[in-house]
Amino acid sequence: MSEKKIIAVLGATGAQGGSLAHSILNDPKSEFKVRAITRNPTSDKAKALAKAGAEVVGADLDDLDSLKKAFKGAYGVYGVTNYWELFSPEKEINQAKNIAKAAKEAGVEHVIWSSFEDTRDRIPLDDDRMPTLMGYYKVPHFDSKGEANKIFANLGVPTTYMFTSFYWDNFIYFGMGPKRGEDGILAFTLPMGDKRLSGIAAEDIGKCAYGIFKKGKELIGKTIGIAGEHLTGSEMAEAFTKALGQKVKYNAVPPAVYRSFGFPGADDLGNMFQYKHDFNDDYCGFRNIERTRSLNPDLKTFEQWLTANKDRIPLE
Ligand SMILES: NC(=O)c1ccc[n+]([C@@H]2O[C@H](COP(=O)([O-])OP(=O)(O)OC[C@H]3O[C@@H](n4cnc5c(N)ncnc54)[C@H](OP(=O)(O)O)[C@@H]3O)[C@@H](O)[C@H]2O)c1
Give the model confidence (pLDDT) of 263-296 as tens digits.
Answer: 999 999 999 999 999 999 999 999 999 999 999 9
Nearest alpha carbon to residue 221 among 175, 160, 300, 140: 160
Residues with CB under 6 A from ligand 1: 10-17, 38-40, 43, 60-62, 80-85, 141, 164, 166-167, 170
Atom 13, ligand 1: residue with shortest CA distance: 82
Give the model confidence (pLDDT) of 218-234 as tens digits.
Answer: 999 999 999 999 999 99
146 close to 283: Cβ distance less than 8 angstroms? no
> What does residue 94 show for φ and ψ, rounded to 5 degrees?
-65, -40
- Given a cut of 80, whether residue 202 has pLDDT beyond it is yes
Pocket test for ligand 1, best of 22, 43, 78, 82 (most atoms within 8 A of CB): 82
Give the model confidence (pLDDT) of 70-92 as tens digits.
Answer: 999 999 999 999 999 999 999 99
- Given a cut of 90, whether residue 316 has pLDDT beyond it is no
Residue 1: which pLDDT band, with cuts at 50, 70 and 90?
low
Q: How far is the CA of 12 from the centre of ligand 1 (A)?
A: 9
Nearest alpha carbon to residue 75 among 160, 7, 159, 2: 7
Bridge-based pairing of strands 32-38 and 5-9 is: parallel
184 close to 316: Cβ distance less than 8 angstroms? no
75 close to 5: Cβ distance less than 8 angstroms? yes
270 close to 255: Cβ distance less than 8 angstroms? yes
Bridge-based pairing of strands 223-225 and 159-163 is: parallel
